[in-house]
Amino acid sequence: MNTQASFLPLLTEYYQRIYAQAQAASSPLLADGIDTLSGTPVNWTYPDGNQVPMSNFASQQNFMRGLSAMTLITGEKHYQEQANLITEYFLNHYTDKESGLFHWGGHRFIHRDTGHIEGPASKECVHELKHHFPFYELLHQVAPETTKKYLQGFWAAHVIDWNKLDLSRHGEYGKTLPENIFGRTEPQPVVDPDKWPELPETIGLTFVNASTDLIYAACHYYKYSGDKNAIKWAKHLYHQFVLARHPETRMPVYQFSSPLQREPIPDDDRITFSWFGDRAKRQFGPEFGDIAREANVLFRDSWPVVVDNPLAILECARFLEDSELTEWAIEGINAYFRFAWDEPTNEIIPMWNSGQDMTGYTFPRDGYYGDKGTVLKRQPTDPAYLLTLVRASALSQNADLRTLTAKMFSRFKLGKLDLQTLEPVELTSKTELCSSYLVFALLELERLTGHQELRTLAGQVGHNLVKKHYHRGYFLPDEYHRYTRLDDPTPYALIALEAARLGIYHKIPVAISKGGYLHGDQSINGEIKVVYDLDVIYKQTVSDQEIQAVTERK
């Protein structure tokens, strides 16, 4: 394997072909994904069987980053012009005039061919972003005022009560945007760490995923407007997550409040709406007492608190040059891995944020976190976590953080780093690791230390990505998956490698998201279920016979 071979021929062909395949016949709108067997767009299937070709601009932001970066690494303007054309068309046609919100996100999309606004009825077609982190630089470049109105409207639609910082992950369209949204009121105390384990009770759900997108938006609004009140509110929101951390371990929280109980708890434990109160308390309170709160659960999915949230906060801290944001993020990162990372086995331990190991625990009853009989297991550490550690280390000399980074680097058998400078002492000559985020981590470690050998290692990971994920001309989880997703970050990792070879990695848009999603009701085996497109579409597989048939047609 020639790890120095350029990915540019593959990328040039890929972006040109995917753009042509995804584009609508009568507008610049793109499909969210492509059927690799037929070359046709992916469809959302409503419960009545009606299929609609999906164009969700929130699920195309990594593709827009890719087009912009392709112009930077090739010098060819048409890639950027394509990104500008799509963005301008979307903003002109799919911005809600009253609220400023865009018609996109977790519960709303556009019919690619007719241009009609669509969305799953069960979610009422509301506005939702959860760790999308849109490409605001492009949006602002194309339409500055529209983008600034959106960033304000995002907060206006999702903050229920500014004094209590009661949030809703769902925002309503059609409501008039108030003037000076960030300057109408001053932030008030919300989380009181002296009252821990008691947390505020809110009607809305203060999930870290939805909250982080709000923080990211407010920081960008400041960047484009100079409104210091936006930064005040962004930091106030993030600070609640910091204040809600466990007082002894300082491990992060998934939310900074508990859902307010507004209705009697039903006898059926499988009915888990938030208006029945805190779901962790209900499912685990009898056994674990006060620690059993939704905020303290770190045994469900660690990615939001270990990758998405810190990456966004660190990016905001970087362009704001805000050391306090950096310190808050690093405290959470260090605390999480101090307790949840088992270095000898390189596994992540399921636990409460008190540090209590929940490995092997069997759920005694049904509930929000899983069915009765579910057994909690340790999970392999994801090499993507190194991106969080490297980006944090680029902003701080924190000794614990850098030691942690070096130890995890070594545990993945990538080599040895100096515990404080992170300069390579020894690097492996071969790795089987396959992670787009690891490519970014290695390239950014090269920028931090100046050691080009890290780029060579990143190139090897890039070739692993192509070998595992590039099939039939598309990027897929493996060769048996049917549908490709435009927002897949894998091709962007290859662009990053080309940019690094040219010495312009720092000029391409920052890699920060795995991409968007659509969430709503579908009929699954005759039963109506609320599902994600990531599961019901992009996990569909094909047979060897189907692969052979499409190969023969080509």
Is residue 330 in some structural domain?
Answer: yes
Is residue 390 in some structural domain?
Answer: no
Judgement on whether residues 89 and 141 belong to the same structural domain of the protein: no
Q: Of all helices (H) and strands (E), which one includes residue 167? A: strand 166-167
What domain range is 299 assigned to? 120-345+347-380
Count up the domains in the chain and report the number: 2
Is residue 395 in some structural domain?
Answer: no
- pTM value is 0.97
Is residue 51 in some structural domain?
Answer: yes
- Decide: 233 and 218 in contact? Cβ < 8 Å: yes
Query: Residue 350 and residue 358: Cα distance in Å, rounded?
Result: 5
Judgement on whether residues 444 and 528 belong to the same structural domain of the protein: yes
Q: What is the CATH number of the domain that holds 243?
A: 1.50.10.20
Is residue 99 in some structural domain?
Answer: no
Query: Residue 397 and residue 42: Cα distance in Å, rounded?
Result: 46
Judgement on whether residues 185 and 280 belong to the same structural domain of the protein: yes
Task: Chunk the chain into consecutive blocks of 10 residues (it has 554) and report each block's average pLDDT, rounded to whole numbers.
Answer: 79 97 97 96 95 97 98 98 98 98 97 95 83 98 98 97 96 95 97 97 95 98 98 98 98 97 96 95 97 97 94 98 98 98 98 98 97 97 98 98 98 97 97 98 98 97 98 96 98 98 98 96 90 95 89 75
Judgement on whether residues 217 and 336 belong to the same structural domain of the protein: yes
Judgement on whether residues 300 and 266 belong to the same structural domain of the protein: yes
- Decide: 380 and 346 in contact? Cβ < 8 Å: yes
Judgement on whether residues 86 and 128 belong to the same structural domain of the protein: no
| pLDDT value of position 57 | 98
Judgement on whether residues 148 and 207 belong to the same structural domain of the protein: yes
Is residue 413 in some structural domain?
Answer: no
Is residue 430 in some structural domain?
Answer: yes
Q: Is 506 exposed, middle or buried (0-12, 13-18, 19+ CB in 10 A)?
A: exposed
- Decide: 122 and 530 in contact? Cβ < 8 Å: yes
Judgement on whether residues 207 and 311 belong to the same structural domain of the protein: yes
Query: Residue 460 and residue 442: Cα distance in Å, rounded?
Result: 11
| pLDDT value of position 140 | 98
Judgement on whether residues 74 and 159 belong to the same structural domain of the protein: no
